[in-house]
Amino acid sequence: MENREIFLKVNGEIYRMSVPDNRTLLQAIRDDLGLTGTKEGCGVGECGACTVLVDGHPVNSCLALAVEMDGRDITTVEGLAKDGVLHPLQQAFMEEGAVQCGFCTPGMLMSAQGLLNKNPFPTEDEIRKAIEGNLCRCTGYDPIVRAVQKSSGKR
Amino acid sequence: MGQGSQTVAAQIVAEELGISIEKISLPPVVDTTFTPFDKTTTSSRLTFQMGNALILAVKDIRAQLKKLAAKKWKVAEDVVEIRSGTIVEMAEGVGRSIDIERIGESGILKEQPPIIGHGSFSTADVYVEPNLETRQSSRPTTFWIYGAQAAEVEVDPETGTVEVLKVAAAHDCGKVLNIETCRQQIEGAIVMGLGHALREEMIFDRGRTMNANLIDYKVPTSMDFSSEKTTTFVEAVHREGPYGAKGVGETALAPTAAAIGSAVSNAVGAQFKSIPIKPDQILAMIEKGKIVHDV
């Protein structure tokens, strides 16, 4: 398979890349750009660990092809903190004990940010619905829900 | 890996040295290339084993600090003590002192060999092999962790679905060294237990796992259980644990499926004997008993 030239905009930076057509967005983010915050949990779109935002919407990056994302605006977990200052969501996750092993966390943060982009003051049900596709085995979800509630309306 | 063992390690060292926890740094990576050997992190025993090893290592550090201070002050070692994070000279009048947090300024480390504390701990010597005939032992294990859980559920007799309204957990982990991380272990375990009780099932066909994926093996999602969860700590201090601590991880999970199973059995009026308990089984049990329930 030949490589195709694409431009990926990730966290505000534009990267010129040369990738085969079957390169997933997840592989491009992790292996080509070295942004390893996004995790591969299952590789088949069932766990949500690979969630990133594409034009503000949560997407399983393991199911998206890099070449499909040419020209789109992608946000990964590395794009949340600004100038070393944690995003309110990240701060809230820490304060509420919403992180244990941390593997689901980047995906959770992106799904939560995707929700808050559209709905800055979500109800508990809306939060649970928004992270329904992000599996967590450690926390039992309550602290994550509380963290999203805590940071709603901020930034 | 997120269970809080490194946090507890830092807490213990800070407590033993009498300094602020912010002054403790941990290796960024734990790698068997350079870390000391441990059998496994199992039996929910890391806090117990590692904690005791750390206490011994810091005891070693304190002894070295006293020696260096005594050398600097030109006094006998037995007049030097460490109290609340300060090395003090026990003398008439006002003795000299050094705050451990500011030890770099004190000069006692200058051109001395670095201070490295060693401590190791194992429970091999406390284990008593069970008698071959009676199978009895006065000490078959290092410690037991106790817990009890109760659940309140609502069963829909039309659909067989179960809503878990509340789970209450009471656990004796010995002295709780970190309430937040301990509670996190228990709450996370409760949701995993709910999954075992009501959702998770490995399906085999002639030796092959048929549902080895996260769609068909149903791990609880955020939508599954928004039940109220309460945690109570019963701190029965263990005389050999670090500050009396034992452990929590695995035993937090042990009672949950049984509690749910008992609650569902109580609701339906018949005993379920296997998990997961699925709606079709509940409906079959209700049908079999022709039990009519009030709403």
Q: pLDDT for A96-151, tens place per residue?
A: 999 999 999 999 999 999 999 999 999 999 999 999 999 999 999 999 999 999 99
* pLDDT value for B39: 73
Count of beta carbons in the 10 Å neighbourhood of residue A86:
13
Q: Supply the DSSP string of chain A, one letter for each residue.
A: --EEEEEEEETTEEEEEEEETT-BHHHIIIIIS--TTS--SSSSSSS-TTEEEETTEEEEGGGSBGGGGTT-EEE-GGGTSBTTBPPHHHHHHHHTT--SS-SSHHHHHHHHHHHHHH-SS--HHHHHHHTTTS--SSS-SHHHHHHHHHHTT--
Interface contact flag, A100 B184, Cβ < 8 Å: yes
- pLDDT score at B122: 85
Taking a C-beta distance cutoff of 8 angstroms, is the pair B95, B89 a contact? Answer: yes
Does residue B230 surpass a pLDDT of 90?
yes
Residue B232 in this model has a pLDDT that exceeds 80: yes
> What amino acid positions of B are annotated as catalytic residues?
250
Choose from B222, B224, B225, B250 for mutation: most chain A CBs within 10 A: B222
Chain A segment 54-113 residues within 8 A of B by beta carbon are 97, 99-102
- Pairwise CB contact (< 8 Å): A100 & B2: yes
Does B199 touch chain A if contact means CB atoms closer than 8 Å? no
The fraction of chain B above a pLDDT of 90, given in percent, is 80
Answer whether residue A155 shows pLDDT above 60: no
HSE-CB for A152 with a 13 A CA cutoff: 17
User: How high is the pLDDT of residue B227?
Assistant: 87
Give residues 214 to 253 of B whose Cβ lies within 8 Å of A: 214-215, 219-223, 225-226, 229
Q: Do A138 and B187 touch (CB under 8 A)?
A: no
> How confident is residue B295, by pLDDT bands cut at 50, 70 and 90?
very low
Q: B263 — alpha (psi -120 to 50), left (phi > 0) or beta?
A: alpha
pLDDT at A24: 98
Average pLDDT over chain B, rounded to whole?
92
- Whether residue B181 lies within 8 A of chain A, CB to CB, comes out as yes
Cβ pair A143:B229 closer than 8 A: no
User: Is the confidence at residue A69, as pLDDT, over 50?
Assistant: yes
Is this model's pTM higher than 0.90 or not? Answer: yes
Q: pLDDT value at position B124?
A: 78
Percent of chain B with pLDDT over 70: 98
Residue B2's pLDDT is what?
82
Closest by CA to B220, choosing from B265, B260, B182, B273, is: B260
Mean pLDDT of B101-114: 93
- CB atoms B222 and A128 under 8 Å: yes
Confidence of residue B294 (pLDDT cuts 50, 70, 90): low
Task: Quote the CA–CA distance of A48 and B97 in Å, as a whole number.
Answer: 56
For residue A152, the one-letter residue type is S
B8 to chain A, minimum CA–CA distance in Å? 14
Q: Quick: pLDDT tens for B166-180.
A: 999 999 999 999 999
Whether chain B has a CB inside 8 Å of the CB on A145: the answer is yes
What is residue B291's predicted lDDT score, i.e. its pLDDT? 53
- B16-74 pLDDT, tens digit each: 999 999 999 988 777 888 887 777 778 888 899 999 999 999 999 999 999 999 999 99
**pLDDT 10s digits, A24-62:** 999 999 999 999 999 999 999 999 999 999 999 999 999
Among candidate residues B161, B169, B159, the one with its CA nearest the CA of residue B192: B169
Cβ contact (<8 Å) for A101 and B2? Answer: yes
